[in-house]
Amino acid sequence: MLFDSLDNLELYYPEVSRMQTVVEIMDKGDVYGMEPGSYQTKDPKVRYIISEYETDSKEKPYEIHRRATDVQIMLEGEELMSVSWREAVKEADKPYDKENDVQYTTGEPLAVWHAARSRFAVFLPGEPHKTGVAIGFPAKVKKVTFKIYD
């Protein structure tokens, strides 16, 4: 898991393939006014999802992707994000869904991060991660999640 300020996104070109596509889209600024939904990019290995939802304190599973790297950028609001131990994959609650590249599991947080506007997190393949957790009271958030496939 990587996390940082959006101002530093370009610094991660060497660590995250295709990060340049993410930076180009964010530099345009269009995502802030776009409706929730799934969008394609010029690069067939990068797509993005804009989502709006309300955070909550309910227990949530960790999700794991085998192929996709998630770059999650907060556009509005704030939430807690966490990552768990990779070993949690071995104890997954449900089988891997190959079509949607996702598996769910429970686990203990290894690291918890306060995600707020203009901050981002990168979850690499195999890293169990959880998002959408309220900070105190439920709050509305808007986020863009880039899915990078290599």
pLDDT in tens, 23-76: 999 999 999 999 999 999 999 999 999 999 999 999 999 999 999 999 999 999
Measured CA to CA, the distance from residue 106 to residue 59 in angstroms comes to 9
Nearest Cα residue to 27 out of 11, 47, 6, 51: 6
What per-residue confidence (pLDDT) applies to 150?
85
Q: Which residues of 43-68 are buried (b: 16+ CB within 10 A; e: fewer)?
A: eeebbbebbebebeeeeebbbbbeeb
pLDDT in tens, 89-107: 677 778 899 999 999 998 8
